[in-house]
Structure 1
Amino acid sequence: MSFARELARRALSIRSETAPAEAAHIARRAFADTIGVALAGADAPYLDGLEAVLDTASAPGQATLWGRGRRASVLHAPLVNGTAAHALDFDDCSTTMGGHPSAPVVPVVLALAEWTGATAGKAIEAWMTGVEVETRLARGLLPHHYEKGWHPTATLGVFGATAAAARMFDFDEERMATALAVAVSMASGLKSNFGTPVKPLHVGQAAHNAVMAALVTRRGMTANPEAFEHNYGFFNLFNGAGTYDAEAILRDWDGPMEVLDPGIAIKQHPCCGSAHSAIDAGLDIVAREGLLPADAIERIETSTHDRRLAHTNRPDPRTGLDAKFSVQFLTAKALTTGRIRLADFDDASFLTPELADLLPRVAASGHQERDAYLGRVRVVMKDGRVFEGSASTRFGRGPTNPMSDTELRDKFTDCATPLLGEAGAGAAYDAILSLGDDDRFDGIMAMISGKGDTA
C-alpha cells in the first residue's frame, strides 16, 4: 500500500467522539488564536496587493476575509486569511513541526465550513486531523528538512490543510490519499525569504493549494499514489535518501495525540519563536534587576542553539519585519523595555535612537547543547556589574506552562480591538471559545468580518 494511502487511513482514524475532550477545547483555542493574529495582520500593506492580484473586489465569493470587510472565493479566502494569520509571526507553534500548525489549517477549515454550512464539531475534527498529519510528517522529516532550508509551516502545512479539507468534504481513504498525492506537487516554502512578506505568503499559498488539491480531487483528478516515496517524490527530493524515516510518521497513531503531547504552544511574543528563549532570558534579568537603560549597557551577549541562530542572527535589521527575526534587536528590546509588543515592529518607529546606538554592542553566538531551546543572556554594564539570565522556551508556552484562557483572551483582544473595538473583540473571543458541536460559523464570521462599528 502506498504511503499516501497509509497516511490517509491513519488520518481518518481521528474522530471527535473518541478524542479526549481537551483536544476539542484546544481546537477552539487554535481557532481563536489564529483568527486573532490574522485580524492583527489584516492591515499588512502587502495584503492589498495580494487582493488586487486575486481581484477579490470584483469577484466576491463564499468565504469571509477576516477583518477586511469583504468576501472571496473558497480558494482565495484561505490564501488571504492564511497570509494574514502569519503576517505578524504571532501564530501558534509546534515543537515537533518546527513551525506553526494552525495558520495553514484554520483558514481552510473555516472557509469550507462557511461555504458548506458545516458544524463546529465537524470543523474541530478536521482541524485535529490536519494538525496530526502535518506534525506526524515532521516526526520523520525533521530536523533535516528544516536545516536544509525548507519552511515546514508551508511544506508540511499543505498536507495538514489538505487532510483537513478532505475531512470537510467527507473524503474516503482513497480520495484523501489522492488529494495528498496531488498536494505533493504543490508543496513549497524556502527559508531564504524569512524576514520578508513572502514568508507569510508561504502559509496562504499552502492553504490555497490544499483547497485546490481537495477540489480537483472531487472533480476526478488523479495523481501518482506513490508521490511521497517515489524516487522523484517528496521524501527524496525535499529531504534526500537516508535523511527521513517514513515508518516514524506512520507509527503510534493509537498513542497520545500531538495536539495534547507535546501540544500546541500559544506565542506570547509577536516575533520569531527561535528568539523567544533569548527574550525570556532577558526578561529573567529584568525581573530581578529592573529595566536596564540602553545608555548604561556596555555590551550584551546572547547564546541560542545553532539551529535557531541560523535565521535570527540579524545584527542590523532594516525593517520592522526584519526585526522580528533579529535576536539582537529582540533581546535588547526585552532588556530595556520589559516586553515585546505588536507596536514594536512599526517600520517608522521600531528602531529608536537608543536601540540604534545599542545594537552594535549586542553579540549573538550559537551553541549545540542537547536542549535546543536553551537561551542565555549576559549583560555587562558600564559600571562593571554583570547580569546573567537563562530560559528554555519551546516556541511559546507548551503544555507544561500553558497560556490560560484568560491570558489568551487578553492576547486576542489586543490583536482584534483595533478592527473590532474592545467590546466586539471580547464578544468574538467568547463566541469562539463557547462553540458547541452543532453550532455554525455564520455569527462569528459576521463578527470578525471587519464591517462593524469599532467604537
Structure 2
Amino acid sequence: MNVMPDIGAQGLTGRLAAAAAALRWEDLPDSVRTVARQATLDTIGCALAGAGEPLADILFAELAEAGGAPQADVIGRSARLPAAAAALANGAAGHALDFDDVNMGMPGHPSVAILPALLALASARGASGAAVLTALVAGTELACRVGRTMAPGHYDGLGFHATGTLGGLGAAAACANLLGLDAARTAVAIGIAATQVAGLKSMFGTDCKPLHAGAAARTGLLAARLAARGFTARTDAIECAQGFAATHSPDFHPTRAEETAPGGFHILANLFKYHAACYLTHAPIEAARSLRTHPGVAPERIAAVRLTLSEACDRVCNIPTPRTGLEAKFSLRLTTAMALAGVETGALASYSEATAADPRLIALRDKVEFDFRPDRTHTLADLELRLTDGTILTAHHDSGVPAADLADQGRRLGVKFRALAEPVLGAARADALAVRLAALETEPDVGAVLALCSG
C-alpha cells in the first residue's frame, strides 16, 4: 500500500516538511488521485457559485482597486489579479457558501484553503495538473497531521478556526511542493506561514469565516514564494518554545503526527457536502430527513424535537434565531426544521432571509431542544421526534464516514458541480470544464483549464 513518505527522525516541523517536499505523483495510489480530482472539482464549483456573493464582490473590488500585475485568474470573473490577491479572492469565494469539503483531521476545510493558492501559483507560473494534485495531497496531509497534534484544544478549546490556521500551513507546504522546494526551504515556508495565520470561530455566520479561507491561501502562497527567495524563519516553528503549538493550543501531542492515516493519506477522509450548511448540521439534517418520510410526520403534527449532539456543535453552529441566509447555515435549530419541513437543504436559494423569517419554520425551529455531551463525536446525531398523538420516533446518523464508493461519490459531485457552475458558465462551458477537471492530471498547464472558469 502506498503511504505518505516516512517523516523520519528530525524535529516535527522538519519531518513534516521533508514528507511534503518528497511527495510525487507516482507515490499516489489511484484512490488518492481520485479524491484529489474530486476535491478540485468540488472546490472550483463552490468558488464559481460563491463568486457572486456580496462578500466576494467586496473583496474583489478592494483587490482590483489596489491593482498590481495581472498574474492569475479570478474564478467566476473575467479578470486577473496578482497571484496572492487571486488566492485570497478565490479562497474566500470558495468558502462563501460553506458548501466545500471538510476533513475532521484538521478539523476544518482543507481544499478551499490550499487549492486556491495552488491554482493562483499555477496560473501565474505554469504547472501541470498532476503537479497541482500532488501538491494538494501534500498540503492536506500536513494540515491534518498538525491538526491531530493540537486537538482538541486548538479548535474546540480556544476557538481557532482551523481552516484559517492549519489551512494556511497546508497551503504553504503545498505551494512549496509545487515550487519544488527542498525540505529545508519547505520548513522555512511553514515557519513563515505559522507566524501569520489566523481565524476565530466567533466569526462563524459572518463574512469573516470565508475570509479566513482566502487569507490562508494567500498566506501559504506568500510564505512559499518568500522561502523560495531566501527569506528566513525558524525551521521548528510548530514545536519550538513560544511557537505555533505552544501559543495556539493547550494540547500538544507531537507523536500523533507519526500516525499513518487509514489508507495511507488523510485526503481519503475528506467529507463532501450535499447540504449547503455547516458540516456539523449535516447529521441532524440527515436524521430529520429519514424521519420525515415516516407515515404521520408533518410539521403541524410535531410536538417536540430533541437532538443529542457533541457539545462542540453548541460552539460551532448553534445560532438560535438566525436572521440572514448566512446565519441560517450555522443554526442547528433552523436547518433541522428545514429538513423536517421538506425544504431542500442542498439548494443555495434555501438559505435566505425569507427562509429565516418563515413563520412555519420558526414555529418548528423553536421546538428543537438539545442534549449536548462532551463525550460525543462531532459528526454523530441522535434525534427524537415526539408527535402530537404521543408517538415517539428516533433516528441516528453519523456524517463522519468517508464514502466507500468513490465512483458513486464522483457522480454525486458531478451533479453538484453542474448545479453550481451552470448558472455562472452556462451548460456547455460547465460540461467542458467538468471533463477537463476529471482528467486534470493529463493537463500540461492548469492555466488553460482555469481560463474556462472566467465569468
How many angstroms apart in 2 are the aligned matches of 1:9 and 1:177? 8
1:79 aligned residue (88, 103, 110): 88
Residue 17 of structure 1 aligns to a residue in which SS?
helix
State the match for 2:365 in structure 1: 359
Structure 1 residues 206 and 371, CA gap change in structure 2 (3 angstroms)? closer
Q: Provide the aligned C-alpha RMSD in A.
A: 2.0
2:331 aligned residue (326, 333, 339): 326
Please list every run of at least 4 consecutive aligned residues from structure 1 whose deviation after the TM superposition is greater than 6 angstroms: none
- Cα distance per residue 1:142-164 (max 9 Å; x no partner): 12211120111111011110011
AA partner of residue 403 (structure 2): P
Structure 1 residues 56 and 449, CA gap change in structure 2 (3 angstroms)? farther
2:257 aligned residue (249, 264, 281): 249
2:402 aligned residue (373, 380, 398): 398
AA partner of residue 277 (structure 1): A
More displaced stretch, 225-234 vs 381-390: 381-390
Residue 308 of structure 2 aligns to a residue in which SS?
strand
State the match for 2:99 in structure 1: 90
State the match for 1:445 in structure 2: 450
How many angstroms apart in 1 are the aligned matches of 2:261 and 2:390? 55
Cα displacement (A) at 1:32:
0.3
Question: Does structure 2 retain, via aligned residues, the 8 Å contact 1:328–1:364?
Answer: no
More displaced stretch, 301-310 vs 436-445: 436-445
Cα displacement (A) at 1:371:
4.1
Structure 1 residues 444 and 351, CA gap change in structure 2 (3 angstroms)? farther
Cα displacement (A) at 1:137:
0.9
Residue 187, structure 1, aligned to residue 202, structure 2: no
Superposed counterparts of 1:29-178, under 5 Å: 29-55=38-64, 58-59=67-68, 61-147=70-156, 148-178=158-188
2:434 aligned residue (418, 429, 435): 429
More displaced stretch, 420-429 vs 49-58: 49-58
Cα displacement (A) at 1:294:
2.7
* TM-score after normalising by structure 2: 0.92
How many angstroms apart in 2 are the aligned matches of 1:186 and 1:203? 13
State the match for 1:20 in structure 2: 29
Question: Does structure 2 retain, via aligned residues, the 8 Å contact 1:36–1:412?
Answer: yes
AA partner of residue 399 (structure 1): A
Residue 281 of structure 2 aligns to a residue in which SS?
helix
How many angstroms apart in 2 are the aligned matches of 1:93 and 1:58? 33
State the match for 2:283 in structure 1: 277
Residue 379 of structure 1 aligns to a residue in which SS?
strand
- Cα distance per residue 1:313-338 (max 9 Å; x no partner): 22211211111011100111001115
Residue 328 of structure 1 aligns to a residue in which SS?
helix
Question: Does structure 1 retain, via aligned residues, the 8 Å contact 2:187–2:236?
Answer: no
Question: Does structure 1 retain, via aligned residues, the 8 Å contact 2:323–2:356?
Answer: no
AA partner of residue 83 (structure 1): A
Residue 382, structure 1, aligned to residue 392, structure 2: no
* TM-score after normalising by structure 1: 0.92
How many angstroms apart in 2 are the aligned matches of 1:429 and 1:57? 33
How many angstroms apart in 2 are the aligned matches of 1:401 and 1:389? 24
Residue 264 of structure 2 aligns to a residue in which SS?
coil
AA partner of residue 321 (structure 1): L
- Cα distance per residue 1:259-281 (max 9 Å; x no partner): 23xx2111111111111111111
Structure 1 residues 50 and 184, CA gap change in structure 2 (3 angstroms)? same
Cα displacement (A) at 1:120:
0.6
- Cα distance per residue 1:197-256 (max 9 Å; x no partner): 10110010010111111122222210122322222111111013xx11122214448971
State the match for 2:7 in structure 1: none
Cα displacement (A) at 1:443:
3.3
AA partner of residue 88 (structure 2): L
More displaced stretch, 49-58 vs 375-384: 49-58
AA partner of residue 446 (structure 1): A
Cα displacement (A) at 1:438:
4.5
AA partner of residue 244 (structure 1): F
Structure 1 residues 366 and 11, CA gap change in structure 2 (3 angstroms)? same
Structure 1: 5+ residue runs without aligned partners? Answer: 451-455
Structure 2: 5+ residue runs without aligned partners? Answer: 1-9
AA partner of residue 357 (structure 1): A
How many angstroms apart in 2 are the aligned matches of 1:304 and 1:208? 35
Question: Does structure 2 retain, via aligned residues, the 8 Å contact 1:309–1:365?
Answer: no
Cα displacement (A) at 1:92:
0.7
Structure 1 residues 247 and 369, CA gap change in structure 2 (3 angstroms)? closer
AA partner of residue 160 (structure 2): W
State the match for 1:453 in structure 2: none
Structure 1 residues 57 and 244, CA gap change in structure 2 (3 angstroms)? closer
State the match for 1:296 in structure 2: 301
Query: Matched residue pairs, number?
Result: 443
How many angstroms apart in 1 are the aligned matches of 2:21 and 2:225? 18
